[in-house]
């Protein structure tokens, strides 16, 4: 079984906010897989389903973001699963809105929800789906930014990136994280090296000028 956790804050006032893109992804995945039955268990909303022949558990912690690990760790223990079976989706301010990146492991990067999970399970070797929400506007605090709702073009961008992640999650479950990273992560654009310009030396007498052939 794979446990797919989307991070966010419970309550209608947090719906469609940047901090809740993890919940938004889980809801989109549930709709995509026709999963409709949710249960309250271990301070989380959970739902069971399948991707191919693999059983999955969809999870939305109800502990508020900073205590996400309080829900994730008991679920792993109850189902007798290891960190290699855990996939966590969360917002990331260091990534441009409308883009994403899949990671196989890593530190919290300053994200309080991921930090709580790391503290509780004591292992960083679980997959992350980082969904870009961009940096705060000038004059905005981080809290104002992550708790603000998506608006305008940002709504379109976030819906598109969430839809693009559905096959990526299927790839993680059916194959593995590395395959999903190679297939779905944005490719880095290599900077093209400027060709070296050839210089010519034109003899003009006792002195020369490189490149132009003009006399000094």
Instruction: Check whether 64 is labelled as a binding-site residue.
Output: yes
pLDDT at 197 over 70: no
3-state DSSP helix/strand/coil percent for the chain, to nearest 5? Answer: 35, 25, 40
Helix 153-174 vs helix 177-184: angle between axes, to the nearest 10 degrees?
140
198: pLDDT confidence band, cut at 50, 70 and 90? low
Catalytic residue among 19, 90, 111, 145: 19
Residue 215 confidence class, pLDDT cut points 50, 70, 90: very low
Give the model's confidence band at 208: pLDDT under 50 very low, under 70 low, under 90 confident, else very high.
very low
| 54-108 tens-digit pLDDT | 999 999 999 999 999 999 999 999 999 999 999 999 999 999 999 999 999 988 8
pLDDT single digits (tens) 25-43: 999 999 999 999 999 999 9
Pairing state between β 127-132 and 100-103: antiparallel
Residue 111 annotated among the catalytic residues of the structure:
no
pLDDT at 66: 94
What does residue 135 show for φ and ψ, rounded to 5 degrees?
-90, 160
Q: Where are the domains of the chain?
A: 2-184
Q: How far is residue 7's CA from residue 36's CA, in Å, rounded to a whole number? A: 19
Pick from 60, 123, 128: nearest CA to 90: 128
Residue 166 is predicted with a pLDDT of 97
Token pair in block for residue 6: 């989307």
14 is known to lie in a ligand binding site: yes
Which pLDDT belongs to residue 3?
97
Confidence of residue 110 (pLDDT cuts 50, 70, 90): confident
Residue 58 backbone phi and psi in degrees, to 5: -90, 135
User: Cβ–Cβ contacts within 10 Å for residue 214, how many?
Assistant: 8
Please, is 69 exposed, middle or buried when counting C-beta atoms within 10 Å of its C-beta (0-12, 13-18, 19+)? buried
Q: Tell which residue, 208, 170, 161, 196, has the closest CA to residue 22.
A: 161
For residue 177, is pLDDT > 50? yes
121: pLDDT strictly greater than 90: yes
Higher pLDDT pick, 59 / 215: 59
- CATH architecture, domain defined by 2-184: 3-Layer(aba) Sandwich (3.40)
């Amino acid at each position: 079984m794979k446990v797919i956790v989307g991070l966010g804050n419970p309550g209608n006032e947090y719906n469609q906010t940047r901090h809740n893109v993890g919940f938004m992804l889980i809801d989109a995945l549930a709709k995509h897989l026709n999963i409709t039955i949710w249960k309250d268990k271990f301070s989380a909303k959970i739902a069971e389903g399948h991707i191919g022949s693999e059983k999955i558990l969809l999870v939305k912690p109800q502990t508020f973001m900073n205590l996400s690990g309080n829900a994730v760790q008991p679920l792993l223990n109850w189902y007798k699963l290891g960190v290699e079976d855990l996939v966590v989706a969360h917002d990331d301010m260091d990534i441009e809105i409308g883009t994403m990146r899949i990671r196989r492991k890593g530190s919290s990067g300053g994200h309080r929800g991921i930090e709580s999970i790391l503290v509780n399970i004591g292992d960083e070797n679980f997959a992350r789906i980082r969904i870009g929400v961009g940096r705060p506007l000038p004059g905005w605090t981080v809290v104002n930014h992550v708790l603000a709702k998506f608006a305008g073009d940002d709504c379109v961008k976030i819906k598109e990136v969430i839809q693009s992640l559905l096959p990526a999650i299927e790839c993680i479950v059916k194959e593995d994280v590395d395959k999903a990273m190679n297939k779905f992560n944005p490719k880095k654009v290599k900077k093209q090296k400027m060709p070296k310009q050839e210089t010519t030396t034109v003899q003009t007498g006792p002195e020369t000028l490189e490149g132009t052939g003009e006399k000094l």
